[in-house]
A and B are shown apart, each in its own frame.
Chain A
Amino acid sequence: MAEEVILLDTWVSPFGMRARIALAEKGIKHEHREEDLGNKSDLLLKMNPIHKTIPVLIHNGKPVCESNNIVQYLDEVWPDKSPLLPSDPYLRGQARFWADFVDRKVFDAGRKVWATKGEEQKSLMEEFIGHLKTLEAELDGKLYFGGEKMGYVDVTMVPIYSWFHAYEVSGNFSFESHCPKLVAWAERCMQHDSVSKALPSPEKVYQYVLQLRKRLGIE
């Protein structure tokens, strides 16, 4: 049976970007479908009835939901090209721990920044930067979180780099001054086509954020 792989996605979602990067790293032929989250497709609602969110990977008609699940699934079904998780259980545990940290700390704080302003926003931004510094320390001189090559944690984390410009303009600061090694790591990842093609332009993301904050009634 021919493999049919579809990705339901939106251009600006860092979660969607994870799936895009993993698919590209592994050279998996797939159809990319852009969703309008204000008018969700029947297919999205059918394939992810619980959360109704993107990304959703549909492999031969069967859905896989949640970005980190999708990346692990792709790694298990297509293990030969660009393996993303190590084979050693301890190192896999470390990778999963840091991917969980990226989700529950980095992305969570980063998301909350956009829903706030003034002192509250400043404090959340500091929290966000604090988490980035923790990650930077974990990088500890390695080229990538995966070691010599990009791995699971790199794929999980690098999408937020496309949002850095938006944070810097809004918060009037530079990430370079707080976590230069992390910025260097992100730029290293961007040298890979799989990453540079998956991430949208920072300026486009910034314009999106301005619209989002207007919609939320913050600006």
Chain B
Amino acid sequence: MATAREPEEDEEEEVKLIKTWSSPYALRAVWALKLKGIPYESIDEDLTHKSDILLHHNPVHKKVPVLLHHGRSICESLVIIEYIEETWSQNPPRLLPQDPLQRAETRFWAKFVDDKALPAIWQAFSKEGKEQEQGLSETAEHLRLLEAELKKKKKRLFFGGEEIGIVDIALGWMVNLVPLFERILGVKILDEEHHPALLKWRQRMSDVDVVKENWPPRDKLVAKWTAIRERCVGKAAANE
């Protein structure tokens, strides 16, 4: 892939991804790029000391991921995925359907993940008592809807159909983080009785090469999320 080129040209044409090692949102962008076979340079951030490059390219939210292409930035993970799809439309797999109605449905579910499923599971993870119960019950409801949606797909392989699509990428954090959360919280979130299709989907996702090869290191993830839980519970205790 690497050839002798003028440094300025490299800088302009190169794809770069500003990310952190653990951000589930950044991982979405990693998967989309790798699934489409797009070479890119990783710029790893320490969010406790945000770099000038991050602040310059995402002044509004100051968050990762940020995709840089031809020196211009695209922010927000789902926006980045649509950009990748449109810019490298000739590279398989197709991350969004071509039919407008199916695209609208796909966008609906991707947004559902971000607006409903993620906030609920975060509430379940970061709170205690009644607030946690509410988070868990909302998570259960969202998973029920996702399970039903997956069962509607003809072959029930992925939300994208026979191949991974944007909804699978958006939900990808479920593959690794849910078992981790279950362990830390001591509760069951996904089970065989209520979520047979989602559990099969999770296994299928884990087996996808791009997903398998790009998981953040497991022991680091365990340490990080355990610490987050302790901080959240500690904060609550301090406020009592």
Chain A residues near B (Cβ < 8 Å): 50, 59, 62, 64-66, 69-70, 72-73, 76-77, 89-90, 92-94, 96-97, 100-101, 134
Are B60 and A66 in contact (CB-based, < 8 A)? no
Cross-chain contact of A97 among B74, B86, B103 (Cβ < 8 A): B74
Chain A residues with Cβ under 8 A from B60's Cβ? Answer: 101, 134
Cross-chain contact of A65 among B72, B108, B145 (Cβ < 8 A): B108
Among B76-84, B121-129, B201-209, the stretch in contact with A: B76-84
Cross-chain contact of A89 among B78, B87, B145 (Cβ < 8 A): B87
Are A89 and B107 in contact (CB-based, < 8 A)? no
Chain A residues with Cβ under 8 A from B79's Cβ? Answer: 93, 96-97, 100
| CB-CB nearest 9 A-B residue pairs | A89-B86, A76-B100, A93-B83, A93-B74, A73-B104, A96-B79, A64-B104, A89-B87, A69-B104
| Distance to closest chain A CB from B206 (angstroms) | 27
Could you mark each residue 65-76 of chain B with 1 if its beta carbon is under 8 Å from any beta carbon of chain A, else 0?
000011010111
In the complex where A66-B107, A66-B111, A134-B60 touch, is A92 in contact with B101 (Cβ < 8 A)?
A: no
Chain A residues with Cβ under 8 A from B78's Cβ? Answer: 100
Are A93 and B82 in contact (CB-based, < 8 A)? yes
Classify the secondary structure of B's interface with A: helix
Give A77 to B76 CA distance when docked, in angstroms. 25
Q: How many residues of B contact A (CB 8 A)?
A: 23
Is B31 part of the binding interface, using a Cβ–Cβ cutoff of 8 Å?
Answer: no
CB proximity to A under 8 Å, residues B47-101:
60, 69-70, 72, 74-76, 78-80, 82-83, 86-87, 100-101
| Distance to closest chain B CB from A3 (angstroms) | 13
Give A83 to B15 CA distance when docked, in angstroms. 29
Specify the chain A residue showing the minimal Cβ separation from B100: A76
Specify the chain A residue showing the minimal Cβ separation from B145: A50
Is B112 part of the binding interface, using a Cβ–Cβ cutoff of 8 Å?
Answer: yes
Are B86 and A72 in contact (CB-based, < 8 A)? no
Are A72 and B83 in contact (CB-based, < 8 A)? no
Specify the chain B residue showing the minimal Cβ separation from A100: B76
Chain A residues with Cβ under 8 A from B112's Cβ? Answer: 50
| Distance to closest chain B CB from A205 (angstroms) | 25
Chain B residues with Cβ under 8 A from A70's Cβ? Answer: 104
Chain A residues with Cβ under 8 A from B101's Cβ? Answer: 59, 62, 64, 73
Chain B residues with Cβ under 8 A from A96's Cβ? Answer: 76, 79, 82
Are A90 and B107 in contact (CB-based, < 8 A)? no
Are B100 and A77 in contact (CB-based, < 8 A)? yes
Are A69 and B100 in contact (CB-based, < 8 A)? no
Give A97 to B82 CA distance when docked, in angstroms. 11
CB proximity to A under 8 Å, residues B95-143:
100-101, 103-104, 107-108, 111-112
Cross-chain contact of B69 among A66, A73, A90 (Cβ < 8 A): A90
Give A89 to B72 CA distance when docked, in angstroms. 12
Chain B residues with Cβ under 8 A from A73's Cβ? Answer: 100-101, 103-104
Are B72 and A97 in contact (CB-based, < 8 A)? no
Are B108 and A66 in contact (CB-based, < 8 A)? yes
Are B82 and A92 in contact (CB-based, < 8 A)? yes
Specify the chain A residue showing the minimal Cβ separation from B101: A62
Are A92 and B108 in contact (CB-based, < 8 A)? no
Chain B residues with Cβ under 8 A from A97's Cβ? Answer: 74-76, 79
Are B104 and A72 in contact (CB-based, < 8 A)? yes
Give A106 to B33 CA distance when docked, in angstroms. 31
In the assembled complex, 20 residue pairs joining A and B whose CB atoms fall closer than 8 Å, in A order, are: A50-B112, A50-B145, A66-B108, A66-B111, A69-B111, A73-B103, A73-B104, A76-B100, A89-B83, A90-B72, A90-B83, A93-B74, A94-B74, A96-B76, A96-B82, A97-B74, A97-B75, A97-B79, A100-B79, A101-B60
